[in-house]
Structure 1
Amino acid sequence: MESLAVSVLPVPKPSFFHSKPTHRKKGFPSWPPCERSSSSSTRLNCHKMFVPGFGEASPEAKASKNLHHFFNYIAVKIVSAQLESYNPEAYKDLMEFLETHSLNDGDEFIASLMRESSSHKALAMRILTVRSAYCKRDFEWDNLKRLAFKMVDESNTKLMREYVLETSHVTEKETGK
């Protein structure tokens, strides 16, 4: 049997691990995360986490795109509920269109709806109006932030609790949960 020789080469420390603290303003963030600039203005230099691998867009831009599609979905639901009660013919047209067109891409859906017929164009314009109004006036942005924080905290706590229970061999009876 042939033996395989492996040599291990020493790897230098990555450049962002400094043996002495530095006071650089660029590059890897220092602590505290926000520091006052030396100018007389009240501007803060804040450092946030770098998110590698997103390439073309920030996480916020990706979330914004998903919310954009979601607002389209909500607008279609609102318009369809309105049409159902006062314009059954337009409601039927919208439902038939929904059977053959996906709502996954909101802009593609609206573009297709606009080009279907003049009555469909009116539906598309109504959906665009509702989508904009819902996003600007009715969506509870503060509630979204609060719920996102709460969901992350509760999920983290649950996962850590499950892991501790699994690895410590403590039963749920003993913990009171």
Structure 2
Amino acid sequence: MESSSALTLSQLPYVYPTIPSTNKNYPFWPASKRRSSQLSTRLQCNKMFVPGFGEATPEAKAAKNLHNFFTYTAVKIVASQLESYNPEAYVELMEFVDKHPLDDGDKFCATMFRESSRHKNLALRIMEVRSAYCQKDFEWDNLKRLAFKMVTDSNTRLMRDYVSETSRSETEK
């Protein structure tokens, strides 16, 4: 893993001086406004603040996308299972998938519940598979490793392309 040159918030107390005990060195610091609690307070946050996500954190938005992706995955698994042992149910599921988008997993399942009693059983099966896949089969550590590698490789490629592009234009001048 590569190290970053950026400082985390937890490192700030070591970089910046703590609140002085006297006003000799810092005449701009009013003695009357100092409290003993300020002297022992340290920043405990070591996460990066991400502005602009409104009501949810980036992790919450990623979780919502994964939730919908797990529904998509469950539909694929159930369809594959049905294709071999219940072709009639497979055809019904595929017709339903053709008519209803899978971009919102909960809406998809809720609509399927209300379609018919046979569709209700399919929806229950999809929700069961979705939960089992998320809990037991999805490789969370592998996702983290792959996402990190993807970001690192992409950053390296973009920087390499930029440097080679700017190097060429400077030597041509």
Name the counterpart of 2:115: 116
Name the counterpart of 1:21: 16
Cα distance change of structure 1 residues 115 and 136 upon mapping to structure 2, 3 Å threshold: same
In the alignment, residue 126 of structure 1 is paired with which amino acid?
Answer: R
Report the Cα distance in structure 2 between the residues aligned to 1:78 and 1:167, rounded to whole angstroms: 48
**Structure 1: 5+ residue stretches without partners:** 1-19, 25-37, 39-43, 171-177
Report the Cα distance in structure 2 between the residues aligned to 1:22 and 1:51, rounded to whole angstroms: 26
Q: Which runs of 4+ in 1 moved over 6 A?
A: none
3-state DSSP class of the match of 2:111? Answer: helix
Name the counterpart of 2:99: 100
Name the counterpart of 1:34: none
3-state DSSP class of the match of 2:54? Answer: coil
In the alignment, residue 168 of structure 2 is paired with which amino acid?
Answer: H
Q: Does 1:150 align with 2:145?
A: no
In the alignment, residue 21 of structure 1 is paired with which amino acid?
Answer: Y
**Structure 2: 5+ residue stretches without partners:** 1-14, 20-39
What's the offset of the Cα at 1:48?
1.2
- Identical amino acids, percent of aligned pairs: 70
Cα displacement string for residues 32-84 of structure 1 (whole angstroms, at most 9, x for unaligned residues): xxxxxx7xxxxx92321110111100000000000000000000000000000
Cα distance change of structure 1 residues 47 and 169 upon mapping to structure 2, 3 Å threshold: same
What's the offset of the Cα at 1:21?
2.8
3-state DSSP class of the match of 2:52? Answer: coil
Report the Cα distance in structure 2 between the residues aligned to 1:21 and 1:151, rounded to whole angstroms: 35
Report the Cα distance in structure 2 between the residues aligned to 1:73 and 1:131, rounded to whole angstroms: 8
Report the Cα distance in structure 2 between the residues aligned to 1:60 and 1:23, rounded to whole angstroms: 33
In the alignment, residue 71 of structure 2 is paired with which amino acid?
Answer: N
Name the counterpart of 2:54: 55
Name the counterpart of 1:160: 159
3-state DSSP class of the match of 2:118? Answer: helix
What's the offset of the Cα at 1:22?
4.9
Name the counterpart of 1:85: 84
TM-score (ref. length: structure 2): 0.73
TM-score (ref. length: structure 1): 0.72
In the alignment, residue 61 of structure 2 is paired with which amino acid?
Answer: K
Cα distance change of structure 1 residues 90 and 23 upon mapping to structure 2, 3 Å threshold: farther
In the alignment, residue 169 of structure 1 is paired with which amino acid?
Answer: R
3-state DSSP class of the match of 1:169? Answer: helix
Report the Cα distance in structure 2 between the residues aligned to 1:95 and 1:23, rounded to whole angstroms: 65
3-state DSSP class of the match of 2:44? Answer: strand
**Structure 1 or 2: larger helix share?**
2
In the alignment, residue 152 of structure 1 is paired with which amino acid?
Answer: V
